[in-house]
């Protein structure tokens, strides 16, 4: 059994098919299929059910997934130790992010990091909070920006920094509320809404806000991409709650919410106080050294070396926020 074969196997699992996996691994599909077949032959069992249109894991394949993750994580850790000796001239770091991250300009931060460590490859994954949390715990990600809402992070994960994001209501330019500036939750009972699909951190925060205020939203459309949500609102299909910078960048009317003022908590999390991966340590140090101003409309983050010692962050008015 070769690490390359396990990497190809996990690529099919992660990407959902052989074509996408081959593209991600930068090899032709026939070579990836041969690699998987050789692995199946060596293990003596089929790992995927190829009879339908979709590639589905067999029972043997599902049993292999956690072991493959652990072996690949161990191999990557060994490579990173060597990279540390070489002075971070090479290496790889994987960071996850929620799609609607606004408190940090992640592309700009990664560009600055690349300028300092051009030999380190950075892998970025955007997914739901649950998927990012699982990947972080499994060792597939070194760091992740999460929006855990009111839930505590699983044991073993550390919060390095915490931000509070203001949520606003965005509308189409010609909407009856477009020029109001502020709006009460009670004024939205008849409004159609565009929302993210269930499972995203923003959808959870908005759902909790609506339940707290007794607002029964009529969802006319749910999406998985922030850009599409904005364009649907612009077209007049409905209104939506989003972090203020998303609405402002789109040039749409942004209405502040009266009583309560809605928001969500975003954290930068990792496994343990310091990553074992030297490249991840370098990226964490870079991100924390830059987390001194409130970029893109976010509030200044609170930081901690561990979850138990986190300093409660404060919002723009100086109110203390609940630590995750």
- pLDDT tens, residue by residue, 163-203: 988 889 999 999 999 999 999 888 898 899 999 887 677 88
Residue 74: phi and psi, rounded to 5, are -65, -40
Low-confidence ranges of the chain (pLDDT < 70): 52, 85-86, 149-152, 199, 259-262, 292-324
Q: SS3 letters for the chain?
A: CCHHHHHHHHHHHHHCCHHHHHHHHCCCHHHHHHHHHHHHHHHCCCCEECCCCCCEECHHHHHHHHHHHHHHHHHHHHHHHHHHHCCCCCEEEEEEECCCCCCCCHHHHHHHHHHHCCCEEEEEEECCHHHHHHHHHHCCCCEEEECCCCCCCCCCEEEEEEEEEEEEEECCCCCCCCCCCEEEHHHHCCCEEEEECCCCHHHHHHHHHHHHHCCCCEEEEEECCHHHHHHHHHCCCCEEEEEHHHHHHHCCCEEEEECCCCEEEEEEEEECCCCCCHHHHHHHHHHHHHCCCCHHHCCCCEECCCHHHCCCCECCCCCECCCC
pTM: 0.66
How, if at all, do strands 143-146 and 263-271 pair?
A: antiparallel
What the chain holds in terms of domains, given with CATH numbers, is 3-71 (1.10.10.10), 91-314 (3.40.190.290)
């Amino acid at each position: 059994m070769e690490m390359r074969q396990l990497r190809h196997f996990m690529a099919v699992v992660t990407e959902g098919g052989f074509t996408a996996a081959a593209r991600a691994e930068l090899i032709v599909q026939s070579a990836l299929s041969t690699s998987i077949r050789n692995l199946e032959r060596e293990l003596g069992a089929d790992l995927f059910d190829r009879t339908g249109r979709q590639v589905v894991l067999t029972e043997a394949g599902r049993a292999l997934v956690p072991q493959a993750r652990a072996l690949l994580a161990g191999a990557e850790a060994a490579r990173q130790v060597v990279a540390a000796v070489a002075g971070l001239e090479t290496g790889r770091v994987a960071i996850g992010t929620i799609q609607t991250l606004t408190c940090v300009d992640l592309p700009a931060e990664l560009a600055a990091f690349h300028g300092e460590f051009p030999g380190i490859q950075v892998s970025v994954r955007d997914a739901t909070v649950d998927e990012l949390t699982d990947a972080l715990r499994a060792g597939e990600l070194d760091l992740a920006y999460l929006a855990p809402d009111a839930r505590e992070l699983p044991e073993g994960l550390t919060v390095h920094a915490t931000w509070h994001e203001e949520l606003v209501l965005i509308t189409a330019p010609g909407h009856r509320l477009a020029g109001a500036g502020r709006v009460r939750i009670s004024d939205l009972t008849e409004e159609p809404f565009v929302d993210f699909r269930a499972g995203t951190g923003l959808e959870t925060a908005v759902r909790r806000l609506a339940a707290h205020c007794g607002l029964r939203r009529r969802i006319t459309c749910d999406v998985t991409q922030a850009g599409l949500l904005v364009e649907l609102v612009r077209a007049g299909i409905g209104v939506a709650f989003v972090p203020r910078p998303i609405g402002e960048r789109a040039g749409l009317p942004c209405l502040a919410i009266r009583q309560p003022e809605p928001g969500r908590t975003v954290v930068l999390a990792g496994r343990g106080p310091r990553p074992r991966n030297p490249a991840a340590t370098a990226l964490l140090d870079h991100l924390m050294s830059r987390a001194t101003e409130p970029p893109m409309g976010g509030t200044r983050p609170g930081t901690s070396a561990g979850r138990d010692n986190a300093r409660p962050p404060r919002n723009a008015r100086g109110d203390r926020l609940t630590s995750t």
